Amino acid sequence: MEKVVIARKLKRDVYDPAREEQIIEKLRSSTNILLKADFLEQIYRTLFEESKKNQERGLKVIAFQGQHGAYSEVAARNWDSSLATVPCSQFSDVFDGLSNGIYDYGIVPVENTLGGVVGQVNDLMIHTPLHIVGAIEIPIVHCLLAGYETDPKEIRKVFSHPQALAQCRHFIAKRQFEPTTYFDTAGAAKMIMEQGSKNAAAIASRLAGELYHLNVVEEGIEDFNTNRTRFLVLSKDKIDTQGRKCSVVFSTPNKAGTLFKVLEKFAEKKLNLTRIESIPNQFGKFAFFLDFEGSEHDTAVLDVLAFLEGHTENYRLIGCYNERKLDQVVTSRDQFA
């Protein structure tokens, strides 16, 4: 059904009766003693009808990196629960899909209070002309997830993303678990479900536990309750949100004091900077990311943006948007529905 919703953006018509009959005819020729033609036809015609209903709903799609149940999906659902969430293997897949018009939105983590900035995302932001249309900061609440048939006393190994394992180091050490790295928190939960391991568990979100039918053995197992991640919502097209936060990226000429003059301009206009990051762009060059409070319709902001355009290199206003900071997040499928 995810593919069906995406396909609607790439084709003109929802209904193609000739194609449906072609598929049904092919099914009739592949039946055997266990699969009868009328049974297969009933299943596929039901799928066709449900697919058309989903395409006619006009759902918008938001892509995220990871498996279903990832914290990025938790953030996406809390940002807008009406969007269809679609997983991608890599951050680059999210950016490429947005650039090619496959997805309406993408959501990516940009910084974590404990783990710092997500360097790969910042690098992609430099080289992809996408727009920030929203931001959301959420608390990261880790759960110990295991099969319902697993006795918590028998758990020996715990699987998760290296960052999640590091954020639960004291909890893992206290229970003498063997930490084992996995490519993704939600992916670890899915693996535990598929393998049916009796002496292993995963560290992931409560949503991952619900999606993969795992028992939440313990919740809130992170070492520090200050664990928060900020996510950016991206779009190919600029959206006028009347936002109160702006993000820009630029490089400075190789002259002493250039960056200081930029920061001085923000101070002069009394604009509050909330984030300053620099990452290597090319040999001997750095790109600077700045987030600051204000709207692109404010006179003070317009003055600063004009200054940046005239005194920096590769300047781009990435977005003017609204940001939400949540103290609690919705994680239950029922609550989202």
Is the domain of 72 the same as that of 91? yes
pLDDT-derived band at 265, boundaries 50, 70, 90 = very high
Is the domain of 212 the same as that of 154? yes
pLDDT-derived band at 161, boundaries 50, 70, 90 = very high
Q: Which domain holds residue 134?
A: 61-139+227-240+322-337
Could you say which of 231, 266, 289, 292 is catalytic? Answer: 231
Interval 169-212: pLDDT, tens: 999 999 999 999 999 999 999 999 999 989 999 999 999 999 99
Is the domain of 115 the same as that of 149? no
pLDDT-derived band at 286, boundaries 50, 70, 90 = confident
Report CA 294 to chain centroid distance, whole Å: 25
| 229 is annotated as an active-site residue | yes
Question: For residue 71, what are the contacts with CB-CB under 8 A and spacing of at least 6?
Answer: 109, 138, 140, 185, 205, 229
Is the domain of 155 the same as that of 135? no
The answer to whether 141 and 219 are in contact (CB under 8 A) is yes
Is the domain of 44 the same as that of 183? no
Report CA 33 to chain centroid distance, whole Å: 45
Question: For residue 182, what are the contacts with CB-CB under 8 A and spacing of at least 6?
Answer: 159, 160, 161, 188, 191, 202
Is the domain of 305 the same as that of 327? no
Domain end (from 191, 225, 259): 225
pLDDT exceeds 90 at position 122 = no
pLDDT exceeds 80 at position 155 = yes
pLDDT at site 192: 97
Query: Which 8-state DSSP code applies to residue 223?
Result: S
pLDDT exceeds 60 at position 337 = no
Is the domain of 234 the same as that of 328? yes
Whole-number percent of the chain with pLDDT over 90: 72
**CATH for 67:** 3.40.190.10
| Mean pLDDT within 22-30 | 86
The answer to whether 206 and 254 are in contact (CB under 8 A) is no
Is the domain of 121 the same as that of 232? yes
| Mean pLDDT within 150-161 | 96
| 231 is annotated as an active-site residue | yes
Interval 82-93: pLDDT, tens: 999 999 999 999
| Mean pLDDT within 59-83 | 96
Is the domain of 231 the same as that of 116? yes
Is the domain of 132 the same as that of 234? yes
Rounded-to-integer distance, Cα 66 and Cα 53, Å? 27
Is the domain of 102 the same as that of 128? yes
pLDDT-derived band at 254, boundaries 50, 70, 90 = confident
Q: How many domains does the chain have?
A: 4
pLDDT exceeds 70 at position 284 = no
| Mean pLDDT within 260-278 | 94
Domain end (from 38, 56, 74): 56
Could you say which of 85, 229, 312, 331 is catalytic? Answer: 229
Domain end (from 225, 255, 270): 225
The overall average pLDDT reported for the chain is 92
Sign for the CA dihedral angle at 225, 229, 80, 182 comes to negative
Residue 323, SS3 per DSSP: strand
Is the domain of 112 the same as that of 221? no
